[in-house]
């Protein structure tokens, strides 16, 4: 599928720094600071935030206050409140908290899946089926999304077969997922691979293909976003200040940085509804609460161009 | 013009670190180290190197030994030896030294042009005409290229009208330039602007459109390369370790890093003939000779992916 002649007019960004970012840092951010992060991200125009994950606090103390953050985020009108869940138990907690949408990560790499959740990808598909059944039995409106991770390669096993990614995508949809996404969990994607796999995924999932989740580990994050835009993808995960490392790539940067993403989109006239100036102010706030942690992102260092025209301000 | 369904099979990279990189640093690299850089870049597979510029040593002491580096570079078989020249006098020196190709920079921004060379863009077109006439009168085989700079915006005047860029491109070709290039001198380009302007430039210049020169000042360097590849551009400037800042953007990174560029191309199966492993070794050598200078590039920090397959090794 060749790329389209024009880019989408608008896209939606989900801020994942509070989850994918914070979970990989040593610092445990205080609940009040997280709440302020959510509030100011909302004020900057973000309308989808992954505020945490429902995992055992023993495993991830950084996420122990997720229920509190969810409760606060739910007070903000028109904000889609998302959490990650690793299993049925987490999904039930999310549902009880009134979360709008959960993401179940399913690694396409068998070795990564076993290292990460001690389950095979197909066992995670079974878990997804149980989660959907539980949600339906409870009559909950909570949306269930499956994020197919290590979709472009894996730091443990190396190659991941795109056919396996598409098989899991189909299996997730057949198991009742409302939407699916592809995640380059460790930053192995390149723009051509993105163009090919997202175009193929679109053919499989249609408008149930919700999310592109890129890491910038090897400097290709924004190039990958551009390639995905060209095949019509309109939902992107990103993390303020690019936080969110990878245990298999120490010292490497994490997610695509939200402020750099909004900057690129603004340059190209693609509306995200997010004010990059407010994001840069928020970045300073977040930096103060993460002393000693590595932050990424280029715009904060280089500054905005003289002729820059923000789309949202 | 929509992007093509497939990328070029191969591209040519011109290493410009010895010119665009070193000219912006405080450190004056010793001639022996420059020579070793040229030798090892050649061994890594590079077949075009911009080895310096013929400017007054009082203005740029970093470039005072350009004639020596040219003489050494000319001993390497099949290496295209390029220098930048600001005027006829520099072009004459380059010709006398046996340089294969010169690049005359012509800023599309009137204000940048006046600040940089104290001439208007049209006065630079006149200079180009004199350079071509002198070259022809001497019966020299030296190729003359015009690099239209600040093609995507200017740190002083802000916007640069793409019509002015295309007018100068036409004027340069009409004045006898063998080839032309577009340079995002200060890192203002975005992938959509690249797609549009390079497609339009291709319509004007055909296969005399030689070069895309991107800076990574705002993190979009590789995304811009990808967008240019999609409209069929096959010649890229880059700089080892991304050196090459901009006086109008202090602290900002410089050119697209050669090693990151080769990495992205290899990932996508686009052959450059350059061995990324040898570039990473060379980067360490260059780093030792630039103590205290900021180096850029992501791959050197993050490492190559586990499943990476170099095309040239």
Average pLDDT, integer, range A107-112: 95
Asked if B263 and A189 touch (Cβ cutoff 8 Å), the reply is no
Q: Best of A5, A7, A11, A191 to disrupt the B interface by mutation (most B CBs within 10 Å)?
A: A191
Of A5, A153, A251, the CB nearest to B305: A153
Question: Is the model's pLDDT at A8 over the cut of 70?
Answer: yes
Lowest mean pLDDT: which of A226-235, A304-313, B183-192?
A: A304-313
Q: What domains appear along chain B, each with residue ranges and CATH number? A: 12-302 (3.20.20.70)
Does B7 contact A at CB distance below 8 Å? yes
Q: Grade residue B250 by pLDDT with cuts at 50, 70 and 90.
A: low
Rounded mean pLDDT, A164-177: 98
Distances (CA, A) of A155 to A24, B131, B276: 16, 54, 20
B223–A253: do the CB atoms touch at under 8 Å? no
Residues near B274 by beta carbon (within 8 Å), at least 6 away in sequence:
B13, B44, B45, B46, B258, B262, B312
Tell me the whole-structure pTM to 2 decimals: 0.96
Q: Does A151 touch chain B (CB under 8 A)?
A: no
Mean pLDDT score across all residues of chain B: 95
Radius of gyration of chain A (CA): 18
Secondary structure E strands in chain A: 12-15, 48-53, 80-84, 101-107, 143-149, 179-184, 209-214, 235-238
Per-residue burial over B71-107, b = 16 or more CB atoms within 10 Å of its CB, e = otherwise? ebbeebeebbbbbbbbbbebbbbbbebebbbbbbbbb
Tell me the chain B residues in contact with residue A191 when contact means C-beta distances shorter than 8 Å.
Answer: 223, 226, 264, 268
Q: What is the pLDDT of residue B251?
A: 54
The model's pLDDT over A53-84, given as tens digits with 9 standing for 90+, comes to 999 999 999 999 999 999 999 999 999 999 99
CA pseudo-torsion sign B132, B137, B141, B142: negative
Mean pLDDT of B126-140: 98
Q: What is the pLDDT of residue B260?
A: 98
Using CA atoms, how far residue B135 sits from A55, B51, B72, B127, in Å, is 72, 20, 22, 12
Using the Cβ of B260 and the Cβ atoms of chain A, whether some distance falls under 8 Å is answered with yes
Q: Could you say which residues from 199 to 238 on chain A have a Cβ atom under 8 Å away from some Cβ of chain B?
A: 216-220, 222-223, 225-227, 230
pLDDT for res B279: 98
| Residues B104/B109/B113/B119 CA torsion (nearest 10 deg) | 90
- pLDDT mean over B196-217: 96
Instruction: Determine the average pLDDT of the residues in B244-270.
Output: 84
- Per-residue pLDDT, averaged over A112-118, amounts to 92
Q: Judging by beta carbons within 10 Å of its beta carbon (0-12, 13-18, 19+), is residue A33 exposed, middle or buried?
A: middle
The string of pLDDT tens digits covering residues B11-26 is 999 999 999 999 989 8
- Residues of B within 8 A of A3 (CB-CB) are 2-3, 5, 230
pLDDT tens column, A18-59: 999 999 898 899 999 999 999 999 999 999 999 999 999 999
Residue A244 pLDDT exceeds 90 = no
Using a CB–CB cutoff of 8 Å, tell me whether A28 touches chain B.
no
CA gyration radius for chain B?
18
A/B interface, count of CB pairs below 8 Å: 139
The answer to whether B127 touches B88, Cβ cutoff 8 Å, is: yes
Structure tokens at B301: 């920090």
Q: State the pLDDT confidence band at B313, using cuts at 50, 70 and 90.
A: confident
Bridge partners, A158 (sequence order): A154
Asked if A267 is an active-site residue, the reply is: no
Q: Encoding tokens for residue B83?
A: 């220098």
Answer whether A305 sits within 8 Å of B226, measured CB to CB.
Answer: no
Quote the minimal CA–CA distance from B159 to chain A in Å: 6
Reported as type and span, the H/E element at residue B181 is strand B179-184
List, for residues B269-306, the tens digit of each pLDDT value.
999 999 999 999 999 999 999 998 989 999 999 999 98
Alpha carbon B133 to its chain's center? 24
For B86-98, the pLDDT digits (tens) are: 999 999 999 999 9
pLDDT for B18 equals 97
Locus of tokens 């390079």: B198
The interface pTM score, or ipTM, of the predicted complex is: 0.95
Nearest to A220 among B2, B191, B264 (CB): B264
Chain A contact for B147 (CB, 8 A cutoff): no
Q: Is the pLDDT at A2 greater than 70, yes or no?
A: no
| Cβ-defined contact of B154 to A223 (cutoff 8 Å) | no
Tens digit of each residue's pLDDT (9 = 90 or more) over B32-81: 999 999 999 999 999 999 999 999 999 999 999 999 999 999 999 999 99
In angstroms, rounded to a whole number, what is the distance separating the alpha carbons of residues A270 and B128? 39
Angle separating helix axes A221-230 and B221-230, nearest 10 degrees? 40
Residues of chain A contacting residue B217, judged by C-beta atoms under 8 Å apart: 298, 302
Average pLDDT value for chain A: 95
């Amino acid at each position: 599928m060749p790329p389209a002649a024009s880019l989408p007019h608008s896209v939606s960004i989900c801020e994942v720094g509070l989850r994918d970012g914070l979970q990989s840092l040593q610092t445990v951010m205080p609940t009040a600071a997280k709440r302020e992060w959510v509030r100011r991200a909302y004020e900057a125009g973000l309308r989808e935030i992954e505020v945490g994950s429902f995992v055992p606090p023993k495993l991830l103390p950084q996420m122990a206050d997720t229920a509190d953050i969810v409760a606060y985020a739910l007070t903000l009108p028109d904000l889609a409140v998302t959490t990650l869940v690793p299993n049925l138990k987490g999904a039930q907690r999310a549902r009880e908290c009134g979360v709008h949408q959960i993401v179940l990560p399913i690694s396409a790499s068998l070795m990564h899946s076993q290292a990460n959740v001690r389950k095979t990808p197909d066992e995670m598909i079974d878990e997804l089926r149980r989660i959907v059944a539980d949600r339906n039995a409870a009559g909950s409106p909570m949306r269930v999304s499956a994020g197919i991770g290590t979709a472009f390669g894996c730091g443990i096993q190396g190659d991941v077969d795109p056919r396996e990614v598409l098989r899991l995508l189909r299996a997730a949809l057949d198991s009742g997922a409302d939407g699916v996404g592809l995640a380059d969990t460790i930053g192995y994607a390149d723009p051509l691979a993105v163009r090919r796999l997202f175009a193929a995924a679109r053919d499989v999932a249609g408008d149930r293909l919700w999310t592109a989740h890129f890491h910038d580990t090897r400097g290709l994050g924004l190039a990958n976003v551009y390639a995905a835009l060209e095949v019509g993808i309109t939902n992107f995960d990103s993390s303020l200040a690019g936080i969110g490392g990878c245990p298999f790539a120490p010292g490497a940067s994490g997610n695509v940085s939200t402020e750099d993403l909004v900057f690129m989109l603004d340059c190209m006239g693609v509306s995200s509804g997010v004010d990059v100036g407010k994001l840069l102010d928020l970045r300073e706030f977040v930096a103060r609460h993460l002393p000693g942690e590595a932050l990424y992102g280029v715009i904060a260092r280089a500054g905005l161009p003289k002729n820059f025209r923000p789309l949202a301000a």
